[in-house]
Chains A and B, each alone.
Chain A
Amino acid sequence: MDNNVYQVYEDEIQALEEEIKLLTEKYEDIQQESTFFSEEEILKSIKSFQRETQGESKGHESPSDLKAQLESLETDLSFLMKLTGFQFTSHSKKTVEKTRDRTVQKHRLSGNCHSLSFQLEFQLLEVQSKEKVSSVISDLNIVMESGEDSGMSEFVSSVEERGNLATFFRSLSAYAEWVEHRRRTFLHFKAKYPEVVTLPEGLQGDYIILRNPKVSGFELMIVWKIHLDEEGTTTPVLDLLTKVPEQVLEQKMTRVESVPARFRSMVLLLGIEAALENLIKVLE
């Protein structure tokens, strides 16, 4: 009988403790999410913190603990960004709903992957059940500089529709690496054979022109497109277009016609760089 009385009090105490925890978290969330300090202010604070004496307890962590925590987090982040290739330049979130088992947050994130920048927003719902936490992304909105006919905008629409944020990141990473690879390859050949190679659209373009400095009018154009399909698979597509002046054509017709096909086989057999190298050698 007496245990009943205790139970009632204990239940109430537990409920109150949970509510207090929730209210405290909500308060801290609002404070956190509506504040912004610039890099300057952060650096200033770190310096002024270093001047503070040790041993300031009061239930707070010591200055050196805070500093250590900050450094460890920054190291982890910097490592992850290097490892994954994603540089996040800004992030903000707003907790829209928070109860004991359910949290809804709206996120805004910008960053870049190699030379490709993106901005996105989404809603994250987390539900706590007995064994685990489930999380669902919705309302995904992505803004990317599309550029060239790469399939990027179709891919982005497909990802937005399905809320496939992880697929977006994974595919973007692979795609960006190919773009970067192409840029480096173009740069390499331009530097190595400056008279033969020209880049009418620069390093960001998707084609390169090879010409023999002695034979005017004869040009080989190698188009290197990087295609992204709706499922996020990146495929490089290389093609060769020839521009041949009349007299050369009459003399060497058969050879010129088969060059594009032979180039494609070369690419398959030897890889892009070797194929390009061979082609340039032929021209010289």
Chain B
Amino acid sequence: MEPGKGGPAGNPGKPEAGKRDPPHGVLAQLEVLEARDRREAVEQEEREQREERAALLESRARELRLRRDELREKLERLEKGGLGKAGMPPDPAHPNPRAVLEWRIRSLKALLQVFHLTGISGKLSKRGLCLTLSTSYEGSHLDSFHLELLLRPEVRIQRHSIPAFIPLEQLSRRFLATDLRRFLALLSQHLEGYSSRRFQADQLQERFSDWIQGTPQRNSLCNLLKFSYSLSRNSRTFPLRARLLYQDPLRSLPTEVTVSCSPDAPAALAATASEHSELFRRAALHRAFQTFAGTHGNP
């Protein structure tokens, strides 16, 4: 027989592998048994792996349960007044220096968090300063905006998330190099004014959609607002038309309000229109709506 020719049978005359004759004879039977053994071994292995994995998970769960129970007890003891004068384990007279420093670090971090509530917060970085300007409406946080400043060789803006309709460039040209505090105060006021106006318009759309025709028209700075509304819910007509102009970008109340109705409208409606003109000038939009649209939605 020549080397490298033919299959395991080695005989060129025999048919190729895969086209065997049906099994018969001892060899064939042995093959079947071997195959079955192999299958069973694989299944056995898989079963063992599954059991092992389940056992691992179970023991992990048990471990965690123990730890959780320990912590619960520890916490209960602490809450029931297991504290000495300083609240730390042994020897309040000579506190562990590491514990003191870790305490101090957490206190300082907490104080830095408080700065966020003032509206201006930040962190020094290698090259400059990362600032976060927060806006809020009556205690509820609205949006945060970011500003990255380079401080050397002179103060300038590297990156920011200030919307395009806020006059950032103007403000930075005038104040950034000479009076950073004033720059930030003014920028912050612009952002606050914008966020506050947007919030009022959003509230109007969300809570009083049954009283307004479609959605109010507004510009991106949210200082021009137009909408038609009615004095009753789910009405099919909207006899009153309001136009609010907020000329001062720092303020959240409009400088000019026009509420109009058609010239042949009844006198009572015209009177209401002029009342509402005053109302929208003096009160936040969603609050103003609440006074005549009842207690629809959250107070």
Which positions in A face B, CB cutoff 8 Å?
Answer: 2, 5-6, 9-10, 12-13, 16-17, 19-20, 23-24, 26-27, 30-32, 34-37, 41-42, 44-46, 48-49, 52, 60, 63, 66-67, 69-70, 72-77, 79-80, 83-86, 88, 91, 93, 107, 109, 124, 134-138, 140, 162-167, 169-170, 173-174, 231
B19-27, B78-86, B157-165, B257-265 - interface stretch: B78-86
Would A84 and B64 count as touching, CB distance under 8 A? no
Interface check B140, CB cutoff 8 A: yes
Q: Are B105 and A166 neighbours in the complex by a CB distance under 8 Å?
A: no
Q: Are A17 and B64 in contact (CB under 8 A)?
A: yes
CB nearest neighbor in A for B88: A35
A-side contacts of B68, CB under 8 Å? 16, 19-20, 23
Contact residues of B between 98 and 120, Cβ < 8 Å to A: 98, 100-112, 114-115, 117-120
- Please state if B105 and A73 are interface contacts (CB–CB under 8 Å): yes
- Is B71 interfacial (CB-CB < 8 Å)? yes
The distance from the CB of A46 to the nearest CB of chain B, in whole angstroms, is 7
Cβ of A6 and Cβ of B139 under 8 Å apart? Answer: no
Q: Are A162 and B139 in contact, with the CB atoms below 8 A? A: yes
User: B98 to A77, Cβ gap below 8 A?
Assistant: no
CB-nearest residue of chain A relative to B144?
Answer: A132
Quick one: which of A10, A34, A124 contacts B57, CB cutoff 8 A? A10
- Nearest CB in chain B to that of A163: its residue: B139
Q: Does B30 contact A (CB under 8 A)?
A: no
B179-187, B225-233, B268-276 - the one binding chain A: B179-187
When distances are taken between beta carbons in the complex, the residues of chain B under 8 Å from A26 are 75
Q: Are B64 and A13 in contact (CB under 8 A)?
A: yes
Max count, chain A CB within 10 A of own CB: residue among B83, B101, B102: B101
Q: Is the CB of A84 within 8 A of B120?
A: yes
A residues less than 8 Å from B107 (CB atoms): 32, 91
Whose C-beta in chain B lies nearest to the C-beta of A162?
Answer: B138
Residues of B within 8 A of A72 (CB): 124
Inter-chain contact B115/A137, CB cutoff 8 Å = no
A84 touches which one: B53, B57, B78, B115 (CB < 8 A)?
A: B115
3 tightest Cβ-Cβ pairs between the two chains A and B: A163-B139, A45-B97, A137-B139
Q: Which residues of A contact B121 (CB under 8 A)?
A: 80
B72 in the interface (beta carbon within 8 A):
yes
- For residue B294, CB closer than 8 A to chain A, the reply is no
A13 and B97 contacting across the interface, CB-CB below 8 Å: no
A52→B98 CA distance, assembly (Å): 10
Instruction: Answer whether A70 and B117 are a contact pair too, CB < 8 Å, given A13-B57, A48-B97.
Output: no
Residue from the list A17, A44, A170 in contact with B185, Cβ < 8 A: A170
Least Cβ distance of B183 to chain A in Å?
Answer: 11
Contact between chains at B136 and A166 (CB < 8 Å): yes
In angstroms, Cα B51 to Cα A6, docked, is 10
The interface size of chain B toward A, counting residues with CB under 8 Å, comes to 63
Cα separation A176 to B121 with both chains bound (whole Å): 19
Residue among A35, A83, A140 facing the most chain B CB atoms (10 A cut-off): A35
In the complex, which residues of chain A have a beta carbon less than 8 angstroms from the beta carbon of B173? none
Residues of B within 8 A of A31 (CB): 78, 87-88
Inter-chain contacts of B53 with A (CB < 8 A): 6
User: Are B185 and A166 within 8 A (Cβ)?
Assistant: no
Q: Which residue of B lies closest to A9 (CB)?
A: B57
| Bound Cα distance from A46 to B53, whole angstroms | 48
A77 and B114 contact, CB distance less than 8 A: no
**Interface residue ranges of B117-156 to A (CB < 8 Å):** 117-124, 129, 134-136, 138-141
Q: CB-nearest residue of chain A relative to B65?
A: A16
A169 touches B118 (CB 8 A): yes
Q: What residues of A have a CB within 8 angstroms of the CB of B200 in the complex?
A: none
From A12, A37, A66, A80, B115 is in contact (CB under 8 Å) with A80
What residues of chain A lie closer than 8 Å to B278, measured between beta carbons?
Answer: none
Any A CB within 8 A of the CB of B207? no
Residues of B within 8 Å of A174, CB to CB, are: 185
* Closest A residue, CB atoms, query B89: A31
Contact B138 A163, beta carbon cutoff 8 Å: yes
B residues less than 8 Å from A107 (CB atoms): 114
- Residues in chain B near residue A20, CB distance under 8 A: 64, 67-68, 71
A90 and B83 alpha carbons, distance in the complex (Å): 23
Residues of A within 8 A of B134 (CB): 166
How many angstroms between the C-alpha atoms of A137 and B251 in the bound complex? 21
**Is the Cβ of A13 less than 8 Å from the Cβ of B108?**
no
The complex places the Cα of A73 from the Cα of B107 at a distance, in Å, of: 10
A30 pairs with B79, CB closer than 8 A = yes
B102 x A66 contact (CB < 8 A): yes
23 contacts across the A-B interface (CB closer than 8 A): A20-B67, A20-B71, A30-B78, A31-B88, A34-B83, A37-B103, A42-B100, A45-B97, A45-B100, A45-B104, A49-B98, A75-B124, A77-B111, A80-B120, A134-B140, A140-B139, A162-B138, A164-B136, A164-B138, A166-B117, A166-B192, A169-B117, A231-B251
Judge whether B111 and A45 touch: CB under 8 Å.
no
Given A16-B65, A27-B74, A34-B83, A49:B97 Cβ within 8 A? yes
